[in-house]
Amino acid sequence: MRLERLELRRIGLELVVPFRTSFGTELHRDILLVHVTTDVGDGWGECVAMSAPFYSPEFVDGADLVIRRHLWPTLVAAGELRAADVAMVLEPIHGHPMAKAALEMAILDAELRANDSTFHQLLGTERTTVPSGVSVGIFDDLDVLLAQVQGYVDGGYARIKLKIEPGWDLEPVRLVRELIGPDMPLQVDANTAYGRTDIDHLCRLDEYDLLLIEQPLTEEDLLGHAQLAMRSSTPVCLDESIVSLQTAADAIDIGAAEIVNIKPGRVGGYLAARRIHDLCLDRGVPVWCGGMVETGIGRAANAALATLPGFTLPGDISASSRFYARDIVTDPITVTDGEVAVPTAPGLGFDLDLEFLDAITTSTDVIDA
């Protein structure tokens, strides 16, 4: 296909409840959508960069700029293109995986729609539903946390993930375990909030029978995670550290990643995400699909990705209503019996509610090829 036009859309959405992690609190989302028009039709992608560079170096204004200044012109200069070529064409530009992933998504969505096929069909998988987990933020008050968790248990989620940080770890985990009972899958995510000197402390989580502990140490500290993995009976899972196929392979080899969280935005796209999945499957390392508080665009694609056979743990693919009162898609993801349905619509699997999208659009910029 040939690229003809890029539309950069910024939308504003409020979260139904503030989402606090060890790196900050979010309530108002400023999301960049990319809409690509080609000679065979159009497609949409969602950039998962957040407003500020607290989770990773990317942030939404930076993603917007690198797309218009570098990524889009490079893709246009490549001429005739398929979605599978995007990552390779963009390789000379260092970093910016979330910005790259958004463009690849839009081009993949366009390509699939043009062929009247789905991402699910491209992956060639059989599963029609995937297990749904929920990520629960940090609160000022333990009672508020327990009420939130109870709500998600009542909502049918297949597993609970608690955000933790120093001062909010052993006690919330103990109380939540007591509340949900021994059989409900429970895991924690520290978003790099601890250091190597906390390894003894983190081992005290072992008594709560957690599925995994996600990214307790800094992104660069693969060795520290390997040291924790040797000491702790709770499996160590990496999120922020896994930025490429190479880091995934190395982290597994040195024993730093007993489980891998796969987020397409963090690794530069859905096709790179699939390759990391394939590597982990080959090495016998379980994977699960992470979330970045996506709208229905990213949520649809994530649900399809999670049908791959190595995704043996529930993903952070919760109902749209966990974060948003109203989504930008016509058929928002819901949870039934702990599972979300893999979308069947052509393309990445969503149709936009254009009227609502227009109502929440804060800026639109069009760049012709």
Residues belonging to the active site: 163, 263
Q: How far is the CB of 55 from ligand OSB (least distance, A)?
A: 5
Residues that bind ligand OSB (CB under 6 A): 55, 135, 189, 191, 239, 290-293, 316, 318
DSSP, res 184: S
H runs (alpha helix) in the chain = 60-66, 72-77, 86-89, 97-114, 119-123, 142-154, 170-180, 199-203, 222-231, 245-253, 264-267, 270-283, 296-305, 354-360
Instruction: Provide the CA 298 distance to its chain's centre, in angstroms.
Output: 8
Residue nearest to ligand OSB (CB): 291
Q: How far is the CB of 74 from ligand OSB (least distance, A)?
A: 27
* Beta carbon of residue 95, minimum distance to Mg ion (angstroms, whole number): 19
CA atoms lying within 13 Å on the CB side of residue 359: 9
Q: Looking at beta carbons only, is 111 or 189 nearer to ligand OSB? A: 189
CA proximity to 109, closest of 272, 295, 298, 277: 298
Q: Which residue is nearest to Mg ion (CB)?
A: 239
Beta strand 3-21 pairing with 24-38: antiparallel
12-20, 28-36, 82-90, 212-220 -> range binding Mg ion (CB under 5 A): 212-220
- Residue closest to 369 by CA, chosen among 66, 56, 31, 72: 72
The pattern of x and - marking residues 161 through 190 that bind Mg ion according to CB under 5 A reads ----------------------------x-
Smaller CB separation from Mg ion, 58 or 239: 239
Instruction: Please state, in angstroms and rounded to a whole number, the distance separating the CA atoms of residues 284 and 310.
Output: 8
Give the contact letters, 67-96, x = binds to Mg ion (CB under 5 A), - = no. ------------------------------
Restricting to residues 213-272, name those near Mg ion by CB under 5 A. 214, 239
Q: How many CB atoms lie within 10 A of CB 31?
A: 24
Please count the residues of this chain forming the interface with Mg ion, following the rule CB under 5 A: 3
* Contact residues: Mg ion, CB under 5 A: 189, 214, 239
